[in-house]
Structure 1
Amino acid sequence: MKSNRLIYLPLGGAGEIGMNAYVYGYGPEDRERLILVDLGVTFPDMDTTPGVDLILPDIGWLMQRRDRLEAIFVTHAHEDHIGALAHYWAKLKVPVYMRRFTGTIGRLKFDEFGHPKDAITIVEPRPETVQAGPFDVQFMPVSHSVPESSALVIDTPAGRIVHSGDFKLDENPLVGEPWDASAFRAIAAERPVKALMCDSTNVFSLHPGRSESTLRQPLTDLIRAQNGMVVATTFASNVARLRSLAEAAQAAGRTICLLGRAMRRMVSAAEESGVLTDFPRTVSPEEAQEVPRGNLMLIVTGSQGERRAASAQLSRGKYLGLEMKEGDTFLFSSKTIPGNERGVISIMNAFSEMGVNIVDDNGGLYHVSGHANRPDLETVHQVLNPQIVIPMHGEHRHLREHARIAMATGRKSEVVTNGMLVDLTGDAPTIAEYIETGRTYLDGSVLIGARDGIVRDRIRMALNGHALVTLILDEGDEVLGDPWVETMGLPSKGRSGADLVETLEAGLASLLAASGRKLLRDDDKLEEAMRRTLRQVAMEEIGKKPEVTMVISRLSDE
């Protein structure tokens, strides 16, 4: 009989920042009962995933073991932790547990997909406990950049696990719960912590993290000093920052308008769940048009350069009747996520051309991170005193550095990336298996596999252009007329100076004239020969081999 084991398997979020999905299991090998912590998304870019709307973790491994999945626990309401849940819930159909604010957001998403809202159960913080098979799970409040974020205390027959979620050490976060060192010491005092799965995002930041409360005065001073309209952008989910910006605007005598559906929804959800009270009064975009520019403050979505968000819309002209003008000020109260720089810089340049003054956070005055810096991570290691530290929520370099820090204090650690199934049963983590993991794309309204070839073909067409070739043959396999070519994404003339389409058609006509009856009877071989010839001619003329679609039609004897 196989002995029981405790396992950990990241399907996303380990070796990258985003798309978090972590599996825990306990039981006999290959028959473990499972829980899933978080089910998030990451965002595409035009270079590698053109046309894709969202990127989701590949849950194929989990789907094969769906009968063993007990429940899903969501640590907080950021899209990289909750964004894939509504897309996948119909496949998994297990109970989902969240705290109240996260549940408010989750139920809105479920409602949009037609899922039953009662599939989501609202859980109060520790000591309330959820039993899910062999797991007893408690939500432990942590401070972060979205309300009611939580670590999870996961008790198993093999020991206690603490899954940190995203967190920072902020004793005065303005919105949400503060860091409480004594409450975390109590976790370790009750039962030794076998393993800590820990946020690694800011492991390279050497100074202690700063509190959200330090921003109020610098923001007020900045807004008060401006003569034109002031616009600020931040993450829509950063409700504490929205409050900081709104209260600073109010202190500077400004009327406040929120622009962006996601931002309005977050504020509404925070008020509905009781985590946000006394938010300054806001006006609608229509009312804002009547306010003198020097008295108006817009707080808008799009801090990461998203094309359809309010920031990008304003950079292209009017948005909901409002527009930026020379002498206005635009503030990025956020940190640009690696990979989003191009979109953000594009918006900055567009505003600069309008004469708008741009303020970013390079000086550190107008943004604080929602993640723990290195000294804060070291503090949490000391407070919880785990036997094992498994870094998560970071690129490989973050995980490796975090593991090094943990091992320097005598703790066992391992760099674990997506698809590495770790056995935590013993005194040190061991890699038990490598699972094939990948990504799933939301492409329009359809989920497609990253290996399906759809996005690969799209990239090839973007890089090389496309040619459509049509050929008609009669009943005796004789070519009727010449083949004709239509192109997309290719220049009209080649290096010879001749019309490109005519040159391609001439090359194909020469091939057909020299072809024997055997080739003309075989569609597959004929198609391949024509494709090879067209790409060869195109390479000589324009230095590219376009993607080719062949249409061969044969007339019937009937």
Structure 2
Amino acid sequence: MNLNLYCCNGKWLMVDCGISFADDRAPGIDVIVPDASWIAERKEDLLAIIVTHAHEDHVGAVARLWPSFQCPVYTSPFTAEILSLKLAEEGLEKDVEVNVVAAGSSVSIGEFHIDFVDLTHSIPEMQALMITTPHGRVLHSGDWKLDPDPVVGPASNLTKMAAVSKQGVLAMICDSTNVFKEGVSGSELDVQVNLDKLLGTITSGRIAVTTFASNIARLMTIASVAERHDRHVVLVGRSLHRMTQAAKKAGYLNDLPPFLDEKDAGHIPRDKILLLCTGSQGEPRGAMARIARDEHSHISLSSGDTVIFSSKVIPGNEKTLYALHNKLTESGVNVVTEADEFVHVSGHPARGELTDMYNIVKPEIAVPVHGEARHIRSHCDLALSLGVKSAIEITNGNLLKLAPGDAKIIGSVPFGRFAVDAGGLTALDGDFLSTRRRLVYNGAISGIVIVNEEGKITEDPEIRLRGVVDEGLFPKLQTELRREIFDKHAKLTKKQRLSDGDIEESARQAVRRVFRRIAGRRPITDIYVIRFEDE
């Protein structure tokens, strides 16, 4: 989830504004966006948002958060197509000024002059930004690699990178994702060659390939290989349709046979079809998971079919993804992953490519980003070994002064995350999601205590459990709960018994005490008092 801010003489420039995907710490939530309230409070000084490329972690939050910024957006033609779809979903397509900047060109915004430089990635038109200011020049790398054969889109323009770096570069803010990998990340063309060989060995049954919908180069690879093996490509998943339409509008994928809709799959012989599916990370709502559960409206797989996972396993998704692999295998489907065959290549630079970039740009300061703490540390060590004068480790919220004077962290600004839920945004660490997490892990209890005018309990309290413990394993549980409630209630003063609130709290504490003792849990507990007047 990327959101970067650059300041020059009091005016700000935002680079990227993306989303992250939720994990089990946010039950029921799919998407996380950054808390950008700090810069929203200074929106009169925010000149623009520049989006480096069309991946969700860089562009996904622009439409949702733009009303807080209300500034122009600058990006390349393909990314503008993706952004326009997102703006339309939010009803903002007529409100946002989107400036389409030709890939590899330049633009001036206030005192910032930005040269866009083509670098390859797993999506077309990834643009590194050489940001020139009166106080120095900064290269913001974005996500990149040095792929000599990217299949879709221009190759990395290292000639221009060298030219815009000639005047001297103060700092490079650079991708750290693959800093532990030696050599280079590999080429998309190599994946295409190997997928071609692999499909040549599969002569019967349906073939399904799942990958990231945004990986336009991989879509091109898969479509080209399918055509060579006389298989029709069927798109399965809404995001694939959206990405391919945007790519065609931007001038990509237009020399391929037309993609077919999933409704047409049943009319094509099984050995003449290639299903291109969403859900490469095992997402429960993704097409591949629904197919594996036999819940898809139009697509099914059977024994002897083959599924190729043409993507990496994103850390944190292992359990879900391996469960999907097993589900398919149990159905007789042949599963092929990157652990079995060369069916995926990363879109981020390995150490060899990082070394090449440092040798071209020659920055005075290295500022590694886009990685965990150990990635950042290792990247700093690499940069220093290559002759960079200074390498600075930063984390979320750090305010880093680059110039004038020595570069150093001079403070921090508030930051955080919001979950996208029904109706809008809710704080990831707020009461709402905290309550939901407690419900997931501890369950819930509701109860009714009936009392008379003096506050005496006149009937056995009614206690109902939801996901707390299996009551079948505790045959005396209800008796124990009632006894605890009565015992606690007996200690109330006469004045407390006249208060419904005090009686509710007494019963709530009694119930929670039982479950702390027998299960070590603190369930959400709601007790309601019904008070009847004596006749």
| Separation of aligned partners in 1, 2:226 and 2:382 | 41
When residues 490 and 380 of structure 1 are mapped into structure 2, their CA distance, relative to the original with a 3 A threshold, is same
The DSSP-based 3-state class of the residue aligned with 2:430 is coil
Query: How far does the alpha carbon of each residue in 1:63-90 deviate from its partner, in whole angstroms, 9 at most, with x for none?
Result: 2222211110100000000111111011
2:233 aligned with 1:223: no
1:447 to 411, 418, 425: 425
2:443 aligned with 1:465: yes
| Separation of aligned partners in 1, 2:64 and 2:276 | 29
**Cα displacement (A) at 1:555:** 5.5
2:239 aligned with 1:259: no
Other-structure match for 2:49:
72
The DSSP-based 3-state class of the residue aligned with 1:497 is coil
Other-structure match for 2:188:
212
2:175 aligned with 1:199: yes
Corresponding letter in the other structure for 1:192 = G
**Cα displacement (A) at 1:306:** 1.1
Other-structure match for 2:508:
531
| Separation of aligned partners in 2, 1:325 and 1:495 | 41
For residues 419-498 of structure 1, the aligned pairs below 5 Å read 419-426=397-404, 428-493=406-471, 497-498=475-476
**Cα displacement (A) at 1:159:** 0.8
**Cα displacement (A) at 1:496:** 5.3
| Separation of aligned partners in 1, 2:172 and 2:341 | 30
Farther-moved stretch of structure 1 (536-545 vs 459-468)? 536-545
| Separation of aligned partners in 1, 2:519 and 2:350 | 52
Corresponding letter in the other structure for 1:436 = P
Contact preservation (8 Å) 2:77, 2:103: no
1:146 to 123, 130, 138: 123
Farther-moved stretch of structure 1 (521-530 vs 269-278)? 521-530
Contact preservation (8 Å) 2:103, 2:125: no
Other-structure match for 1:293:
270
Q: Which runs of 5+ in 1 are unaligned?
A: 1-18
For residues 252-401 of structure 1, the aligned pairs below 5 Å read 252-363=229-340, 365-401=342-378
2:6 to 2, 5, 24: 24
Contact preservation (8 Å) 1:330, 1:356: yes
Query: How far does the alpha carbon of each residue in 1:148-175 deviate from its partner, in whole angstroms, 9 at most, with x for none?
Result: 1111111111111110011110122111
2:56 aligned with 1:56: no
| Separation of aligned partners in 1, 2:403 and 2:474 | 70
Query: How far does the alpha carbon of each residue in 1:224-274 deviate from its partner, in whole angstroms, 9 at most, with x for none?
Result: 211211100110000110110111111111121111110111111000111
| Separation of aligned partners in 2, 1:385 and 1:311 | 45
| Separation of aligned partners in 1, 2:426 and 2:220 | 39
When residues 143 and 496 of structure 1 are mapped into structure 2, their CA distance, relative to the original with a 3 A threshold, is closer
| Separation of aligned partners in 2, 1:285 and 1:127 | 39
Contact preservation (8 Å) 2:380, 2:393: yes
The DSSP-based 3-state class of the residue aligned with 2:363 is coil
Farther-moved stretch of structure 1 (266-275 vs 113-122)? 113-122
| Separation of aligned partners in 2, 1:528 and 1:241 | 59
What is the percent sequence identity of the aligned residues? Answer: 36
The DSSP-based 3-state class of the residue aligned with 1:432 is strand
| Separation of aligned partners in 2, 1:36 and 1:151 | 14
Compute the TM-score of the two structures, normalised by the length of structure 2: 0.95
Compute the TM-score of the two structures, normalised by the length of structure 1: 0.91
1:402 to 355, 379, 387: 379
| Separation of aligned partners in 1, 2:417 and 2:222 | 36
| Separation of aligned partners in 2, 1:127 and 1:321 | 45
**Cα displacement (A) at 1:318:** 4.5
When residues 509 and 421 of structure 1 are mapped into structure 2, their CA distance, relative to the original with a 3 A threshold, is same
The DSSP-based 3-state class of the residue aligned with 1:38 is strand
**Cα displacement (A) at 1:363:** 4.8
Farther-moved stretch of structure 1 (449-458 vs 153-162)? 449-458
2:103 to 120, 125, 149: 125
Query: How far does the alpha carbon of each residue in 1:279-333 deviate from its partner, in whole angstroms, 9 at most, with x for none?
Result: 2332222322121111211011011111111111111014232211111111011
1:506 to 464, 476, 483: 483
2:61 aligned with 1:107: no
**Cα displacement (A) at 1:126:** 3.9
Number of aligned residues: 532
**Cα displacement (A) at 1:93:** 0.7
Contact preservation (8 Å) 1:422, 1:433: yes
For residues 115-194 of structure 1, the aligned pairs below 5 Å read 115-117=92-94, 118-131=96-109, 133-189=110-166, 191-194=167-170
| Separation of aligned partners in 2, 1:415 and 1:364 | 36
Query: How far does the alpha carbon of each residue in 1:411-438 deviate from its partner, in whole angstroms, 9 at most, with x for none?
Result: 1110111011100014642010022321
Corresponding letter in the other structure for 2:3 = A
Corresponding letter in the other structure for 2:446 = L
Other-structure match for 1:41:
19
| Separation of aligned partners in 2, 1:327 and 1:496 | 48
Q: Structure 1 stretches (4+) deviating beyond 6 angstroms?
A: none
Corresponding letter in the other structure for 1:149 = M
| Separation of aligned partners in 2, 1:428 and 1:223 | 56
Q: Which runs of 5+ in 2 are unaligned?
A: none
Other-structure match for 2:392:
414
The DSSP-based 3-state class of the residue aligned with 1:223 is helix
**Cα displacement (A) at 1:469:** 2.0
When residues 429 and 530 of structure 1 are mapped into structure 2, their CA distance, relative to the original with a 3 A threshold, is same
Higher RCO (C-alpha 8 Å, min separation 6): 1
Corresponding letter in the other structure for 2:69 = L
The DSSP-based 3-state class of the residue aligned with 1:506 is helix
| Separation of aligned partners in 2, 1:528 and 1:435 | 40
| Separation of aligned partners in 1, 2:114 and 2:487 | 73
The DSSP-based 3-state class of the residue aligned with 1:289 is helix
The DSSP-based 3-state class of the residue aligned with 1:469 is strand
The CA RMSD over aligned residues, in Å, is 1.9
